[in-house]
Amino acid sequence: MNKPKLSCIEFLRFVPLAPQPLDPRCGDTVAVIGWLMDFAALHVDYAQEASAPDGSTVHVLVQGSQGSMALFSLPPFGISRAVVHSSVEELWYFLSGAGRMWLKAGGREEVVTISPGMSVAIGPGTAFQFRSDSAEHLRAVGSTMPPWPGDHEARATTGPWIPTHRP
């Protein structure tokens, strides 16, 4: 496979956004100024590699003003640490491997079988843990909304399996 010549392309422009009401019940407004992203492109071969708070390997992909994207990976028969996100929502799409994902929110708890083609939505406050049950790496692309704010977002919790991977 030919790698792209540029590792990352990101164009931002500074724009004044329309004034927004502070509270819909009153007439006070505040001027909001911020960055608006035109577009970004990044090949996974050039993505920064890190350890996610759950212990999985993460390749940090593109980020926009409303969300971020990453590639998560667990080695064969690996088990992540169980975590809960405080404020972000994540959407995962599994690319390879086979395994299970435990999810718990409110009074609802479930273990979902995961394989290529499966997608999972993880809302704020949902506890989750995942594991690889095959000899193939378990890989998933995840989108986080709003963009991932940092490792302080995730806190450890108790899941159904003993983790083999820790950050």
Query: How many domains are there within the chain?
Result: 2
Same domain, 52 and 19: no
Distance from C-alpha of 8 to C-alpha of 136, rounded to nearest angstrom: 29
Query: Could you tell me the CATH number of the domain that includes residue 84?
Result: 2.60.120.10
- If asked whether residues 13 and 73 sit together in one domain, one would say no
Q: Is the pTM of this model over 0.95?
A: no
Q: Is residue 143 in a domain?
A: yes
Classify 97 in phi/psi space as left (phi over 0), alpha (psi -120 to 50) or beta: left
pLDDT in tens, 77-113: 999 999 999 999 999 999 999 999 999 999 999 999 9
pLDDT in tens, 39-56: 788 889 888 999 999 999
Q: Are residues 8 and 51 in the same domain?
A: no
CB 156 within 8 A of CB 83: yes
Q: Which structural domain range is residue 32 located in?
A: 1-42
Which 3 state secondary structure label does DSSP give 101? strand
- Please give the structure tokens belonging to residue 144: 């986080």
Q: Kindly state the tokens that stand for 138.
A: 């378990």
According to DSSP, the residues that pair with 93 across neighbouring strands are: 119, 141
Q: Domain check: are 89 and 114 in the same one?
A: yes
At residue 88, what are phi and psi to the nearest 5 degrees?
A: -95, 155
Highest mean pLDDT (candidates 6-10, 32-36, 45-49, 77-81): 77-81
Mean local confidence (pLDDT), 57-84:
94
Tell me: do 97 and 27 sit in the same domain: no
Tell whether the model's pLDDT for residue 67 goes beyond 50: yes
Least confident of 1-10, 24-33, 92-101: 24-33
Q: Please check whether residues 17 and 75 belong to one and the same domain.
A: no
151 and 92 fall within a common domain? yes
In this structure, are 25 and 74 located in the same domain? no
HSE at residue 141, side-chain half, CA atoms within 13 A, is 10
Residues 70 and 128 grouped into a single domain = yes
Residues 100 and 24 in one domain: no
73 and 143 assigned to the same domain: yes
Average pLDDT over every residue of 60-67: 88
Q: How confident is the model at residue 121 (pLDDT cuts 50, 70, 90)?
A: very high
In a domain, 163, yes or no: no
